[in-house]
Structure 1
């Protein structure tokens, strides 16, 4: 394992994040504050509580998960796509480093950015709601594992994309709708039986459910299934990334 290569890639990506701190950090936090105001105040005035939890507090895990999924995919996909766009990706391919080091560098940086933003949002939520974290260890575990899984997915999207339009298709047309339909702002138990069953076909529901359980001890699906879902995502993405680097698919075009 070439740790120097990992540190170099990771450091380069994190430096870019801090150079554009207002765009990278302030923008998603401000967007989430608007969600707190609209959903927490406006809708929360009509929905007092969900399963005994104040609605304003109930949506905090969902908003954090929405931000983590969006930021993980966006940061990782742009991080690896830009070297492709500028033609500098060949420097990574000919350097004395393997696919694992390149993946860990880019994915680690993207996941770190997403986790940092999510923690800032968590701190911000205390200004609006009294949030209690029932299982702090599992909250951090779900946060890190989910950020890692979707950073890997974003890394694959960045390798697959041929232009900036394709780079935005999956985050905007797939990730965001699945998150909204995955219980970010409601519990699947609030749905009619048929639609509750349909909702369980949404993989994001398992991530949101497990993360919300770490806060309030409430889950729409068994916690074990949530852990299995995120670990399965990581394994599938790792296999796909290894195949891409071994075959050179979309890397040598």
Structure 2
């Protein structure tokens, strides 16, 4: 392990985030605050409680998870795609840096930015609604695990993408709709039987449900299943990244 190489790449990624703080931090926080205003106030005035939790507080874990997923993918995918786009990726691949060190640096940088953003949004949410966190350890665990997992997923997208349009394709057309349909703003118990069954095939449901359980001790699916599904997706992403570097998929040419 070459800690200097890891730290150099990691520091470069963090510096890029602080240079674009309006885009990286301020914009997502403002967007999430608008969700609180629209959903928490307008819709929350009509839906008083869900599972004994005020609607404004109920949607907080879902909104944090929405930002966490999209920002983790966006940060990691752009971080590895841009060197491909400008051609500097070949300098990195020819340097005395292992594939593991490259992954740790890029994914670590993307995950760190997403975790910081998630904590800022959590602090912002406390200004709008009263919050309780019954299981702070598991809340942080889900936050870190989800950020790392989807940063790896974004890393895969960044390598796969051949254009900026493809870079935005998966987050906009797949991840965001799955998050909205994964119980971020409602409990799946409110759905008809058929749609509830369909929703159980949405992997984002298990992330949102487990994260909400860490706040209020209540979830749509058991915490064990939520944690298990997250770990399975993490292992799948690790296997795909390992295959990419072993075969040189879209890196060598």
Shorter chain as normaliser: what TM range?
over 0.9
Distance 2:59 2:78 in 1: 28
Greater Cα offset, 60-69 or 18-27: 18-27
Measured after TM superposition, the shift of residue 192 of structure 1 is 1.2
Equivalent in the alignment of 1:35: 35
Measured after TM superposition, the shift of residue 215 of structure 1 is 0.3
Total equivalences in the alignment: 253
Equivalent in the alignment of 2:121: 121
Distance 1:15 1:136 in 2: 29
Measured after TM superposition, the shift of residue 71 of structure 1 is 0.1
Equivalent in the alignment of 1:159: 159
Distance 2:188 2:99 in 1: 39
TM-score when scaled to structure 1? 0.99
Equivalent in the alignment of 1:80: 80
* Coordinate RMSD, CA, aligned: 0.6
Where does structure 1 lack aligned partners over 5 or more consecutive residues?
Answer: none
Distance 2:229 2:155 in 1: 19
Structure 1 residues 210-249: aligned runs within 5 Å: 210-249=210-249
Distance 2:147 2:229 in 1: 13
Measured after TM superposition, the shift of residue 233 of structure 1 is 1.2
The alignment partner of 1:127 has SS state of helix
Measured after TM superposition, the shift of residue 98 of structure 1 is 1.2
Structure 1 residues 50-65: aligned runs within 5 Å: 50-65=50-65
Equivalent in the alignment of 2:99: 99
Distance 1:183 1:98 in 2: 40
The alignment partner of 1:231 has SS state of helix
Equivalent in the alignment of 2:45: 45
Measured after TM superposition, the shift of residue 23 of structure 1 is 1.3
Measured after TM superposition, the shift of residue 50 of structure 1 is 0.4
Deviations 1:73-95 (A, max 9, x none): 00000000000000000111111
